[in-house]
Amino acid sequence: MEKLYYSIGEVAGILGENVSLVRFWSDSFPKLFRPVRNAKGNRLYTRDDVETFRQIHLLVRECGMTLEGAYRKMLSEKDKVAKAERLVRMMKSLRSDLEDVRTAIGQTGRPDNA
């Protein structure tokens, strides 16, 4: 069962970033995020918000874009950015799976050049 809302800490964990950066990005992209607040006033993000954070992460951390450039790109080409982010995530997952296979093969005791 998929969650309806994610806390800011959960979003930070998904991205591998700290909470203050996620909060900063949320505040820096006001047209992209409208977090729901719980009774304590904590921000809660939807699954779509998490996907948007992943796209920002790709543009800023991996592509080296400025926040302003990433913001403009997200507003003008959101579908392209979403596809690129999904592709990068799939490729990283595939790489991780291949590394696991390589490790498993290496642990069978067979020589590397056999």
Which pLDDT tens digit goes with each residue over 52-107?
Answer: 999 999 999 989 999 999 999 988 888 888 888 888 889 988 898 899 888 888 87
Instruction: Judge contact between 8 and 36, C-beta under 8 A.
Output: no
Vertex 39: Cα angle to 49 and 23 (nearest 5): 40
Task: Name the more confident of 105 and 111.
Answer: 105
Question: What per-residue confidence (pLDDT) applies to 93?
Answer: 86
**Under a CB-based contact definition with an 8 Å cutoff, are residues 20 and 8 in contact?**
no
**Number of H helices and number of E strands within the chain?**
5, 3
For residue 8, give the 3-state DSSP assignment.
helix
pLDDT greater than 80 at residue 108: no
For every residue of 50-74, DSSP letters joined together read HHHHHHHHIIIIIS---HHHHHHHH
Query: Residue 109: what are its φ and ψ, rounded to 5°?
Result: 90, 0
Q: What percent of the chain has pLDDT over 70?
A: 93
Backbone angles phi, psi at 102, to 5 degrees: -60, -40
Could you say which of 1.10.8.80, 3.40.640.10, 1.10.1660.10, 1.20.1250.20 is the CATH number of the domain covering 6-106? 1.10.1660.10
- In this predicted structure, the answer to whether residue 23 has a pLDDT above a threshold of 90 is yes
* Rounded average pLDDT over 3-17: 94
